[in-house]
Amino acid sequence: MIRNWGASAATAIRGSSAPVTRTLIVLCCLVFLIGPASGLHPADGSGEELLAAQRAYFRRWGVIPADLFEGSPGAVLTPATALFVHGSWVHLLGNMLFLHVFGAMAEARMGRVRFALCYAGCGYLALLGYAAANADSERSLVGASGAISAVLGAFLFLFPRARVTSLLPFLFFLPVRLPAWVVLPFWAALQWAAAGRAADGPGVAYLAHLVGFGLGFGCAWVCCGRATTVKSASAPAPAPEGENQP
Protein backbone atom coordinates (compact mmCIF):
# COMPACT_ATOMS: atom_id res chain seq x y z
CA MET A 1 0.00 0.00 0.00
CA ILE A 2 1.23 3.46 -0.83
CA ARG A 3 -0.02 6.84 0.23
CA ASN A 4 1.18 9.67 -1.99
CA TRP A 5 0.35 13.17 -3.06
CA GLY A 6 -0.28 15.08 -6.27
CA ALA A 7 -2.88 15.05 -9.02
CA SER A 8 -0.88 12.83 -11.37
CA ALA A 9 -0.24 10.31 -8.60
CA ALA A 10 -3.91 10.25 -7.62
CA THR A 11 -4.90 9.61 -11.23
CA ALA A 12 -2.36 6.79 -11.49
CA ILE A 13 -3.68 5.26 -8.27
CA ARG A 14 -7.14 5.07 -9.79
CA GLY A 15 -5.58 3.08 -12.65
CA SER A 16 -6.63 5.41 -15.46
CA SER A 17 -3.24 6.60 -16.72
CA ALA A 18 -0.80 3.72 -16.61
CA PRO A 19 -1.13 1.92 -19.96
CA VAL A 20 2.56 0.98 -20.09
CA THR A 21 2.50 -0.57 -16.64
CA ARG A 22 -0.68 -2.50 -17.39
CA THR A 23 0.67 -3.67 -20.75
CA LEU A 24 3.91 -4.91 -19.18
CA ILE A 25 1.97 -6.85 -16.56
CA VAL A 26 -0.28 -8.43 -19.17
CA LEU A 27 2.65 -9.36 -21.42
CA CYS A 28 4.62 -10.96 -18.60
CA CYS A 29 1.57 -12.94 -17.50
CA LEU A 30 0.76 -14.11 -21.03
CA VAL A 31 4.35 -15.16 -21.74
CA PHE A 32 4.40 -17.12 -18.49
CA LEU A 33 1.07 -18.82 -19.14
CA ILE A 34 2.00 -20.03 -22.63
CA GLY A 35 5.44 -21.27 -21.55
CA PRO A 36 6.40 -24.51 -19.78
CA ALA A 37 7.24 -22.72 -16.51
CA SER A 38 3.52 -22.44 -15.75
CA GLY A 39 3.14 -26.24 -15.83
CA LEU A 40 -0.30 -25.86 -17.41
CA HIS A 41 0.31 -27.62 -20.71
CA PRO A 42 -0.01 -31.42 -20.89
CA ALA A 43 2.27 -31.45 -23.97
CA ASP A 44 5.19 -30.43 -21.74
CA GLY A 45 4.78 -33.60 -19.72
CA SER A 46 5.45 -33.90 -16.02
CA GLY A 47 8.29 -34.72 -13.68
CA GLU A 48 11.68 -34.91 -15.36
CA GLU A 49 10.16 -34.30 -18.78
CA LEU A 50 8.64 -31.01 -17.63
CA LEU A 51 11.89 -29.95 -15.96
CA ALA A 52 13.79 -30.66 -19.19
CA ALA A 53 11.27 -28.56 -21.17
CA GLN A 54 11.65 -25.70 -18.69
CA ARG A 55 15.46 -25.82 -18.80
CA ALA A 56 15.40 -25.73 -22.61
CA TYR A 57 12.94 -22.82 -22.55
CA PHE A 58 15.04 -20.80 -20.13
CA ARG A 59 18.19 -21.54 -22.09
CA ARG A 60 16.59 -20.28 -25.29
CA TRP A 61 15.05 -17.08 -23.93
CA GLY A 62 17.13 -16.33 -20.83
CA VAL A 63 20.55 -14.77 -20.40
CA ILE A 64 23.47 -17.21 -20.31
CA PRO A 65 26.50 -15.08 -19.38
CA ALA A 66 29.06 -17.42 -20.97
CA ASP A 67 27.22 -17.31 -24.32
CA LEU A 68 26.63 -13.57 -24.12
CA PHE A 69 30.32 -12.76 -23.91
CA GLU A 70 31.45 -15.34 -26.45
CA GLY A 71 30.05 -13.14 -29.20
CA SER A 72 26.95 -15.13 -30.14
CA PRO A 73 24.73 -12.78 -32.22
CA GLY A 74 21.48 -14.16 -30.84
CA ALA A 75 22.70 -13.89 -27.25
CA VAL A 76 22.76 -10.08 -27.51
CA LEU A 77 18.96 -10.09 -27.55
CA THR A 78 18.52 -12.34 -24.52
CA PRO A 79 18.69 -9.55 -21.87
CA ALA A 80 15.59 -8.14 -23.60
CA THR A 81 13.68 -11.41 -23.95
CA ALA A 82 14.58 -12.50 -20.40
CA LEU A 83 12.67 -9.50 -19.02
CA PHE A 84 9.40 -11.22 -19.98
CA VAL A 85 10.27 -14.75 -18.79
CA HIS A 86 9.73 -15.91 -15.20
CA GLY A 87 10.77 -19.11 -13.51
CA SER A 88 7.75 -19.85 -11.33
CA TRP A 89 4.38 -18.59 -10.18
CA VAL A 90 5.95 -17.02 -7.09
CA HIS A 91 8.60 -15.30 -9.24
CA LEU A 92 5.95 -13.89 -11.58
CA LEU A 93 3.43 -12.78 -8.96
CA GLY A 94 6.06 -11.16 -6.75
CA ASN A 95 7.46 -9.12 -9.62
CA MET A 96 4.05 -8.13 -10.94
CA LEU A 97 2.93 -7.00 -7.47
CA PHE A 98 5.90 -4.62 -7.20
CA LEU A 99 5.32 -3.37 -10.75
CA HIS A 100 1.63 -2.79 -10.08
CA VAL A 101 2.25 -0.91 -6.82
CA PHE A 102 5.13 1.31 -7.91
CA GLY A 103 4.89 1.43 -11.71
CA ALA A 104 1.71 3.43 -12.22
CA MET A 105 2.82 6.45 -10.21
CA ALA A 106 6.31 6.46 -11.71
CA GLU A 107 4.78 6.26 -15.19
CA ALA A 108 2.38 9.13 -14.43
CA ARG A 109 5.25 11.38 -13.36
CA MET A 110 7.79 10.36 -16.05
CA GLY A 111 5.41 10.02 -18.99
CA ARG A 112 4.67 6.88 -20.96
CA VAL A 113 7.56 6.97 -23.41
CA ARG A 114 10.25 7.84 -20.90
CA PHE A 115 8.92 5.29 -18.42
CA ALA A 116 8.91 2.55 -21.08
CA LEU A 117 12.44 3.41 -22.16
CA CYS A 118 13.62 3.54 -18.56
CA TYR A 119 12.05 0.15 -17.80
CA ALA A 120 13.43 -1.60 -20.87
CA GLY A 121 16.83 0.11 -20.96
CA CYS A 122 17.59 -0.22 -17.25
CA GLY A 123 16.28 -3.78 -17.20
CA TYR A 124 18.54 -4.73 -20.11
CA LEU A 125 21.58 -3.09 -18.52
CA ALA A 126 20.83 -4.67 -15.12
CA LEU A 127 20.90 -8.16 -16.64
CA LEU A 128 23.97 -7.25 -18.67
CA GLY A 129 25.72 -6.03 -15.53
CA TYR A 130 24.93 -9.25 -13.70
CA ALA A 131 26.16 -11.30 -16.66
CA ALA A 132 29.42 -9.31 -16.77
CA ALA A 133 30.03 -10.10 -13.10
CA ASN A 134 29.37 -13.81 -13.74
CA ALA A 135 30.85 -14.08 -17.21
CA ASP A 136 31.74 -17.78 -16.88
CA SER A 137 28.30 -18.89 -15.73
CA GLU A 138 26.41 -21.41 -17.90
CA ARG A 139 23.15 -21.02 -16.00
CA SER A 140 20.13 -19.17 -17.37
CA LEU A 141 18.99 -15.89 -15.86
CA VAL A 142 15.36 -14.83 -16.38
CA GLY A 143 12.91 -12.36 -14.92
CA ALA A 144 11.92 -8.70 -14.84
CA SER A 145 13.48 -8.09 -11.42
CA GLY A 146 16.21 -5.79 -12.76
CA ALA A 147 13.68 -3.64 -14.61
CA ILE A 148 11.31 -3.54 -11.66
CA SER A 149 14.20 -2.59 -9.39
CA ALA A 150 14.74 0.32 -11.78
CA VAL A 151 11.11 1.30 -11.22
CA LEU A 152 11.76 1.27 -7.46
CA GLY A 153 14.81 3.48 -7.91
CA ALA A 154 12.85 5.91 -10.07
CA PHE A 155 10.02 5.91 -7.54
CA LEU A 156 12.43 6.77 -4.73
CA PHE A 157 13.66 9.83 -6.61
CA LEU A 158 10.21 10.94 -7.74
CA PHE A 159 8.21 10.27 -4.55
CA PRO A 160 10.65 10.14 -1.60
CA ARG A 161 7.94 11.17 0.86
CA ALA A 162 5.33 8.66 -0.31
CA ARG A 163 4.34 6.48 2.62
CA VAL A 164 4.72 2.78 1.93
CA THR A 165 3.09 0.17 4.13
CA SER A 166 5.66 -2.54 4.88
CA LEU A 167 5.58 -5.83 6.77
CA LEU A 168 8.68 -6.09 8.96
CA PRO A 169 9.66 -9.55 10.28
CA PHE A 170 11.25 -8.20 13.46
CA LEU A 171 7.89 -6.55 14.28
CA PHE A 172 6.02 -9.85 13.79
CA PHE A 173 4.95 -8.76 10.30
CA LEU A 174 2.78 -5.97 11.61
CA PRO A 175 2.09 -3.35 8.90
CA VAL A 176 4.15 -0.20 9.41
CA ARG A 177 3.72 2.95 7.31
CA LEU A 178 7.09 4.49 6.46
CA PRO A 179 8.28 7.00 3.85
CA ALA A 180 9.82 5.66 0.65
CA TRP A 181 13.16 7.26 1.50
CA VAL A 182 13.34 4.82 4.45
CA VAL A 183 11.81 1.68 2.92
CA LEU A 184 13.49 1.59 -0.48
CA PRO A 185 17.08 2.29 0.62
CA PHE A 186 16.57 -0.37 3.31
CA TRP A 187 15.43 -2.79 0.58
CA ALA A 188 18.51 -1.90 -1.50
CA ALA A 189 20.75 -2.50 1.54
CA LEU A 190 19.22 -5.97 1.92
CA GLN A 191 19.97 -6.70 -1.74
CA TRP A 192 23.57 -5.54 -1.23
CA ALA A 193 23.99 -7.80 1.80
CA ALA A 194 22.43 -10.76 0.00
CA ALA A 195 24.59 -10.18 -3.09
CA GLY A 196 27.70 -10.38 -0.92
CA ARG A 197 26.62 -13.78 0.41
CA ALA A 198 25.26 -15.19 -2.84
CA ALA A 199 26.91 -18.26 -4.28
CA ASP A 200 28.34 -18.24 -7.77
CA GLY A 201 25.76 -18.35 -10.52
CA PRO A 202 22.18 -17.05 -10.85
CA GLY A 203 19.66 -18.22 -8.22
CA VAL A 204 18.43 -14.81 -7.16
CA ALA A 205 20.25 -12.11 -9.11
CA TYR A 206 20.73 -9.62 -6.29
CA LEU A 207 23.40 -7.78 -8.23
CA ALA A 208 20.93 -7.19 -11.09
CA HIS A 209 18.53 -5.71 -8.53
CA LEU A 210 21.18 -3.29 -7.32
CA VAL A 211 22.26 -2.28 -10.82
CA GLY A 212 18.66 -1.73 -11.88
CA PHE A 213 17.85 0.26 -8.73
CA GLY A 214 20.77 2.63 -9.26
CA LEU A 215 20.07 3.03 -12.97
CA GLY A 216 16.39 3.73 -12.34
CA PHE A 217 17.19 6.41 -9.78
CA GLY A 218 19.64 8.02 -12.23
CA CYS A 219 17.18 7.78 -15.10
CA ALA A 220 14.48 9.57 -13.10
CA TRP A 221 16.99 12.24 -12.10
CA VAL A 222 17.95 12.82 -15.74
CA CYS A 223 14.34 12.81 -16.98
CA CYS A 224 12.59 14.68 -14.18
CA GLY A 225 15.25 16.14 -11.90
CA ARG A 226 14.84 19.83 -12.72
CA ALA A 227 11.04 19.70 -12.78
CA THR A 228 10.93 17.83 -9.47
CA THR A 229 13.33 20.28 -7.85
CA VAL A 230 11.39 23.33 -9.04
CA LYS A 231 8.07 21.83 -7.96
CA SER A 232 9.38 20.91 -4.51
CA ALA A 233 10.87 24.36 -4.00
CA SER A 234 7.75 26.27 -5.05
CA ALA A 235 4.94 24.12 -3.63
CA PRO A 236 3.75 24.16 -0.02
CA ALA A 237 3.84 20.99 2.02
CA PRO A 238 1.25 18.66 0.40
CA ALA A 239 -1.57 16.79 2.07
CA PRO A 240 -2.46 13.13 1.47
CA GLU A 241 -4.78 12.50 -1.46
CA GLY A 242 -4.94 8.78 -2.15
CA GLU A 243 -3.95 5.22 -1.44
CA ASN A 244 -2.95 2.23 -3.51
CA GLN A 245 -3.68 -1.19 -2.13
CA PRO A 246 -1.99 -4.13 -3.91
* Digit-coded pLDDT (tens) for 91-136: 999 999 999 989 999 999 999 999 999 999 999 999 999 999 888 8
* Catalytic residue check, 209: yes
Query: Do 186 and 168 meet the contact criterion of CB atoms below 8 Å apart?
Result: no
125, β-bridge pairs: none
Our count of domains for the chain comes to: 1
What pLDDT shows up at residue 196?
A: 67
Coil, strand, or helix at residue 142?
A: coil
- Find the catalytic residue in 86, 91, 140, 145: 145
For residue 138, give its domain range: 2-244
- Nearest partner of 55 among 131, 142, 134, judged by Cα: 142
- In the chain, count H helices and then E strands: 10, 4
Give the integer Cα–Cα distance in Å for 244 and 165. Answer: 10
DSSP-assigned letter for residue 42: G
Report the percentage of the chain scoring pLDDT > 90: 52
Question: Please, which pLDDT band fits residue 166 given cuts at 50, 70 and 90?
Answer: low
Coil, strand, or helix at residue 166?
A: strand
CATH number at residue 16: 1.20.1540.10
* Catalytic residue check, 91: no
Q: Which amino acid is at 27?
A: L
- Nearest partner of 242 among 160, 152, 163, 147, judged by Cα: 163
DSSP-assigned letter for residue 86: -
* Digit-coded pLDDT (tens) for 29-80: 999 999 999 988 888 888 899 999 999 999 999 999 988 888 677 889 999 9
Give the integer Cα–Cα distance in Å for 207 and 201. Answer: 11
Sheet (strand 163-168) strand order: 174-179, 163-168, 2-4, 242-244
